Amino acid sequence: MNIELQNTGDLTATVKIELTPSDYEEKVMKVLKDYQRRASMPGFRPGKVPFGLTKKMYGQAVTADEINKMLGESLENFIKEQKLDILGNPLANVDKTPQIDWNEPGDLSFYFDLGLSPQFELALDGKSGVIYHKIEVSDEIANKYLEDMLRRNGELTEVEVSEKGDLLKGDFAELDADGNVKEGGISSTGSINPELFKDEAIVASFTGLKPGEVVKINPKKASGNATDVAAMLGITKEQAEELESDFNFTVTSISHMVPAEMNADFFEKVYPGLEITSKEGLIEQIKKDASQSFVGESDRKFFNDAVKQLIEKAAIQLPDEFLKRWLIDVNQDKMSAEDIEQHYDEYANSMRWQLIENRLIREHDVNVSEEEIKDVFRGYFNRPGSSEMDDDTKMRIDSIVDSFMKNKEDVRRINDQLFEQKLLKLMKEKMEPKEKSVSYEEFAKLAAEK
């Protein structure tokens, strides 16, 4: 066997593997003799099938199989020995590889194309200019949070005339094309929360109603969501998706949410133990909690912006034509060559980030241990303010965690999350982002930009 590397470009190469019969015949004969010992054919006792007949029946397939095994192992070992850093997987070069007569293979030559990983500079030298957006919660947003808290902790009471935000219960009756109640049509009792409708005119049509009054509504147009329509009418989602009819809705009762009173009981209920005594103190706490909840969004934007900058600064060249061939090969029956071409820039940047990410992981020793993954699972059982666990409880939890660790999908998901958290922390430390305070509205506009 002879193997040699032929450079075909700055980031491409071809491996040529030459085989002679002495390389593969012994292995082929061993497999065929094993077939002969186990073969069972009419007219022959078990194990007594003539070798010539066995070879005639299985020779081509066995020869091809054994040679392919040799090629795979030899190519993998050669790449390791030569310390070749490749992209994707080797691709057979069918144009260079001669046709093979599997009855008499003789001397053989095989060619495999490689895409080589590029060299690039990666400097995490601080003062990157990447902005970390710190979202400030305005009084307006905090007051909206407060209004929602008061409503959620309020009480429902029946009223005689509907106002904006009220929940209406009633009877639905499907109408035909002429606006009459459809015989055999959908008829049900349900509720309508007009606040969920996007069309202000439809919302307004449910204000000022009294029990017994009728309003016409097209549930699909009003909601735009088959799941909500199905729940509203008590039908299946499949039925809701096909539904186009108007309905009469006869109001039977109206429920009005009376917001909770802002007093000491309310403060203790929404923030137990914090000893909040005034609206001002509550607003400050709401702002603090809301700001904390926005950290994840700020982190995600910083991470994406940092990745974009690293990709741009590294200016990584790729063996594009090889990668397109490889993408077509690994996405057979899923994506066409046209699809690959159309989305290639996205794939290429994903590959560039993968190269950068691997470099960061290697150079900064970023890793996730099994124990760290277990700690995430253990966290499911820890509650704020809970007392110290006894040994028996810890043992039971560890037993449950061990069972969780058998779920490879969950373990992989948590592993990826922890890796991203560590990379985020590393980039914050090394890239020294510039902090900028923005309102949530400003942040939403920035996040929406492509």
CATH of the domain at 246: 3.10.50.30
Buried b (16+ CB within 10 A) or exposed e, 377-399: bbeeeeeeeeeeeeeeeeeebee
Structure tokens at 368: 């996730």
Q: pLDDT band for position 34 (50/70/90)? A: confident
Do the Cβ atoms of 3 and 14 come closer than 8 Å? Answer: no
Q: pLDDT band for position 273 (50/70/90)? A: confident
Do the Cβ atoms of 52 and 58 come closer than 8 Å? Answer: no
Q: How many CA atoms does the CB half-sphere of 28 hold within 13 Å? A: 25
Domain membership of residue 102 (yes or no) is yes
Given a cut of 70, whether residue 384 has pLDDT beyond it is: no
Domain membership of residue 269 (yes or no) is no
Give the pLDDT confidence score for residue 77 in this predicted structure.
96
How many domains, the chain?
A: 3
Do the Cβ atoms of 167 and 254 come closer than 8 Å? Answer: yes
Spatial neighbors of 241 by CB under 8 A, at least 6 apart, are: 226
Q: Tell which of 258, 287, 306 closes a domain.
A: 258
Claim to verify: residue 423 and residue 282 sit in the same structural domain = yes
Given a cut of 90, whether residue 393 has pLDDT beyond it is: no
Q: Taking all residues of the chain, what is their mean pLDDT, rounded to a whole number?
A: 90
Mean pLDDT over 415-426 rounds to 94
Domain membership of residue 319 (yes or no) is yes
Structure tokens at 377: 């699972």
Claim to verify: residue 432 and residue 392 sit in the same structural domain = yes
Residue 28, Cβ density class (10 Å: 0-12 exposed, 13-18 middle, ≥19 buried): buried
Q: pLDDT band for position 110 (50/70/90)? A: very high
Domain of 207? 155-258
Domain membership of residue 392 (yes or no) is yes
Percent of the chain residues past pLDDT 70, beyond the cut = 98
Residue 286: closest CA among 140, 155, 165? 140
Which range has the worst mean pLDDT, 42-51, 83-92, 312-321, 412-421?
Answer: 42-51
Claim to verify: residue 292 and residue 397 sit in the same structural domain = yes
Domain membership of residue 81 (yes or no) is yes
pLDDT in tens, 205-236: 999 999 999 999 999 999 888 899 999 999 99
Domain membership of residue 270 (yes or no) is no
Q: Write the CATH number for 76.
A: 3.30.70.1050
Q: pLDDT band for position 171 (50/70/90)? A: very high
Q: Tell which of 62, 93, 116 closes a domain.
A: 116
Claim to verify: residue 253 and residue 219 sit in the same structural domain = yes
Residue 118: closest CA among 357, 322, 318? 318
Q: How far apart are CA 448 and CA 450, in angstroms?
A: 6
Q: Tell which of 258, 288, 308 closes a domain.
A: 258
Give the pLDDT confidence score for residue 187 in this predicted structure.
94
Mean pLDDT over 82-103 rounds to 92
Three-class HEC string of 15-48: EEEEECHHHHHHHHHHHHHHHHHHCCCCCCCCCC
Claim to verify: residue 26 and residue 111 sit in the same structural domain = yes
Q: How far apart are CA 443 and CA 367, in angstroms?
A: 32
Q: pLDDT band for position 386 (50/70/90)? A: low
Given a cut of 90, whether residue 368 has pLDDT beyond it is: yes
